[in-house]
Amino acid sequence: MLSVAKMMGTFQLRVMNVCYIYCITIFLESVALEGHKNLLGLKQLPITTHKTSVHLLSRDFNTKTSTEDATTDKFSQGSSRLFHINDTLHQCCVKGKHIIPIGFDFTGNRKYVDIGRCRRRCRHKLHHHLRHRKNLTQGNHISLDDMITETVFQKCSSADVCEPSSRKMEIHHSLTGLLEVVVIEDCQCSSNPSSCQRVSSMMTFFHETPFESTVDVGSCQGQCGDGNSCKPLRNRTVSINGPNGASCVPVIEECQCAQPCYRMEFLELYYEHVWNDTRNMTEEGVKEIDVGRCIGGCSHLEQDRFHCVLRDEKNQEKCLMSLQEEEPLCAPVQFNTHVFTTRTGAVKSVLSIEDCACQ
């Protein structure tokens, strides 16, 4: 009798475990169906009628192993479906909203602008688009993979980069004056280069005006090591016509891997007089000097900028008053001097930046 009672207790315990796992499976599949039934259709996520513990207890003891295996398989299938759904929903590249404050309007109310954001998650857009498609196709089933491969969505692998494909410069009026705000118009999925390089990036100026023009201002993209990031090395300016005359637009020409604070090329040209030994006379030429600029910031430095000026007499580790030091600036740390003679015969000295650092 003891052995029979022990066997029955073990049997009941194992059956309760099976019921627990099976209930979790039903719950997970119900959540998946509720959140994605508009996307996948009822046929893609079937839900088996829930079996009660009384029915399970009435089964023969010899079939409990097969029941556990079947329940475990169903649990694995439900989990794999959920993982597939979440993974697929992160394979998109779509434009989302990103609303920021830009100041106050003339009525004194705070003004906001949606500058846009490129994101990898497209759950809400897929729901909305599939509902529209199902109305057009009278409820025909469309798989999630087919939905993402349509032109309205771009399929992005985990190694790709979701970035803006086109932007525009908007001009907004506020109490402080005119504000220029860059707004993302569309996003695209592209491969991330193995090295730092310049890639095309279109920007529209004076949008929806007679002076509308689009310029490839470029952007820097690629992989860098040792804590560096892909930064512009050299820029140039192009002029575009506007309502108030010509405007200068900076365009990236070359990129490099650099620290957050780095030196950027900046050219200056001067007329100079040079002596020609062959012709035995002074000639006029153009001298090009890369004077450089320090670009970036030093906010990445995690250091204590508070200096204690008054401590507790009884506990020297306790600070009663402290002063906050200024945040380090990206500034020149090494210079070079260029000396030449101008066309008027005067000696001119120009200082160029050779290196930059946080200080």
Residues 235-256: tens digit of each pLDDT:
999 999 999 999 999 999 999 9
- The residue ranges of DSSP E strands in 243-302, in sequence order, are 245-258, 261-264, 267-276, 281-290, 293-296
Rounded to an integer, the average pLDDT of 102-130 is 78
Task: Read off φ and ψ for residue 225, nearest 5 degrees.
Answer: -105, 180
pLDDT tens sequence across 254-284: 999 998 899 999 999 999 998 888 888 888 9
pLDDT tens sequence across 274-332: 888 888 888 899 999 999 999 988 876 655 567 788 888 888 888 888 887 777 889 99
Measured distance CA(108)–CA(297) in Å, rounded: 33
Helix 2-40 with 64-89: angle, nearest 10 deg: 30
User: If DSSP codes are grouped into helix, strand and coil, which group holds residue 289?
Assistant: strand
Single out the residue of 350, 294, 301, 356 nearest to residue 328, CA to CA.
301
Structure tokens, 60: 């023969």
Single out the residue of 51, 42, 2 nearest to residue 23, CA to CA.
51
Measured distance CA(236)–CA(218) in Å, rounded: 11
Can you spell out the DSSP letters for 9-67?
Answer: HHHHHHHHHHHHHHHHHHHHHHHHHHHHHHHH-TTTS--PPPPPHHHHHTS-GGGHHHH
Cβ atoms of residues 35 and 45 within 8 Å:
no
Provide the whole-model pTM: 0.58
Looking at residue 25, its pLDDT comes to 56
Cβ atoms of residues 127 and 38 within 8 Å:
yes
One-letter amino acid at 70 equals A
Measured distance CA(130)–CA(310) in Å, rounded: 65
Single out the residue of 45, 15, 14, 44 nearest to residue 31, CA to CA.
45
Does residue 47 carry a pLDDT above 60? no
Structure tokens, 233: 């090395």
